[in-house]
């Protein structure tokens, strides 16, 4: 069997990293998969359940002959960890990531890596709120978009191999400039997470007599705030790495909230209904676009 990669190291064997490892293994894309992380229990579980073949927990223990290094950590850790692995990486090694922020990650990695070691930025738009290797799902990426963010410095052969990897695990590929990626994701993904965290914390501070308001949350509140269950350190890093876009989108959202507050305070029912009707129509359009992309 001709493998796409001989030795793949997954740095961060969680939902996304673990799912990629599992899908690559089941599809015969990689000969050997090695995991790296800080949680021994998680890595042992991943090894026992066939997600990885073995693991290491100290950077200097990275094995020789790695031809694919997948960085599936919070984005702030990518550069520092890669730097610690570099002394033992061979010139043929290809590095990619799965982070939700691309511009700074791509820039930092291209400045860090020596000639011969290539980096291809990738963002599979798939996942959930579960953590750790136990959340890994072989079919996680099937039918889901994966955005690759090459630059003028990206090696063409490396880009081709990463594209093949994602296509063969079932993802639908799209190529995008890193800055454009962050501007789009800042609105459609990063901002909603910030809002969900804020909404949950607002609820926790809301007092009505002696009642525990949390006990009255219905499906609407739970659906709206589901993403607040995501790992805090991941979203801390995303906010810091994409701070300008998130700050701008958050500012626009606050202005909209202030306008709604004025209309509610002043009893402007017609304006409220018009605003809600507009949102209703736009939401239908979003659903229609999702349906077409899933065909």
pLDDT tens profile 36-64:
999 999 999 999 999 999 999 999 999 99
Q: Which CATH number covers residue 257? A: 1.10.3660.10
The domain boundary residue, chosen from 152, 176, 200: 176
Supply the DSSP string of 216-268, one letter for each residue: G--HHHHHHHGGGGS-HHHHHHHHHHTHHHHHHHHHHHHHHHHHHHHHHHTT-
| Statement to judge: residues 235 and 108 lie in one domain | no
Q: Which CATH number covers residue 25? A: 3.40.50.720
Distances (CA, A) of 158 to 10, 120, 150, 153, 276: 17, 7, 10, 11, 47
Residue 228 lies in domain = 180-293
CA–CA distance, 230 with 235 (Å, rounded to integer)? 8
Split into its structural domains, the chain has a count of 2
Mean pLDDT, rounded, for 186-206: 93
The domain boundary residue, chosen from 117, 149, 176: 176
| Statement to judge: residues 221 and 79 lie in one domain | no
The domain boundary residue, chosen from 118, 142, 176: 176
DSSP 154: S
Q: What is the pTM of this model?
A: 0.91
- 26-40, 60-74, 128-142, 252-266: lowest mean pLDDT where? 128-142
pLDDT tens profile 129-168:
778 899 999 999 999 999 999 999 999 999 999 999 999 9
| Statement to judge: residues 184 and 172 lie in one domain | no
Neighbours of 28 (CB within 10 A): 12
Q: How confident is the model at residue 204, as a pLDDT?
A: 87
Q: How confident is the model at residue 205, as a pLDDT?
A: 86
Strand positions, DSSP E, 63-222: 68-71, 94-97, 118-120, 122-124, 145-148, 172-175
Two tokens, residue 27: 């599809």
- Residue 9: pLDDT band (50, 70, 90) is very high
Question: Is the model's pLDDT at 128 over the cut of 90?
Answer: no
Helix (H) or strand (E) holding 56: strand 54-56
């Amino acid at each position: 069997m001709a493998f796409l990669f001989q030795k793949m190291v997954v740095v961060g064997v969680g939902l996304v990293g673990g799912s990629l490892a599992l899908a690559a293994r089941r599809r015969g894309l990689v000969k050997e998969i090695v995991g790296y992380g800080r949680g021994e229990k998680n890595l042992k579980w991943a090894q026992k359940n066939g997600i990885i073949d073995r693991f290491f927990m100290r950077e200097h223990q990275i094995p020789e002959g790695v031809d694919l290094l997948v960085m599936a950590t919070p984005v702030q850790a990518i550069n520092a960890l890669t730097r610690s692995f570099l002394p033992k990486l061979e010139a043929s090694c290809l590095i990619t990531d799965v982070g939700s922020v691309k511009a700074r990650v791509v820039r930092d990695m291209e400045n860090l890596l020596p000639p011969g070691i290539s980096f291809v930025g990738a963002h599979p738009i798939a996942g959930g709120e579960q953590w750790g290797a136990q959340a890994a799902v072989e079919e996680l990426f099937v039918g889901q978009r994966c955005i690759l963010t090459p630059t003028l410095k990206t090696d063409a052969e490396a880009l081709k191999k990463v594209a093949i990897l994602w296509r063969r695990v079932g993802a639908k590929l799209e190529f995008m400039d890193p800055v454009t990626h962050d501007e789009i994701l800042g609105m459609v993904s990063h901002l909603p997470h910030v809002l969900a965290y804020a909404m949950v914390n607002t609820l926790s501070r809301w007092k009505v007599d002696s009642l525990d308001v949390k006990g009255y949350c219905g499906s609407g509140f739970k659906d709206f705030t589901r993403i607040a269950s995501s790992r805090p350190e991941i979203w801390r890093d995303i906010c810091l790495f994409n701070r300008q876009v998130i700050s701008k989108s958050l500012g626009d959202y606050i202005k909209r909230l202030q306008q709604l507050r004025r209309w509610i305070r002043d009893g402007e029912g017609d304006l409220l209904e018009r605003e809600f009707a507009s949102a209703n129509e736009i939401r239908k359009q979003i659903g229609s676009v999702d349906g077409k992309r899933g065909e």
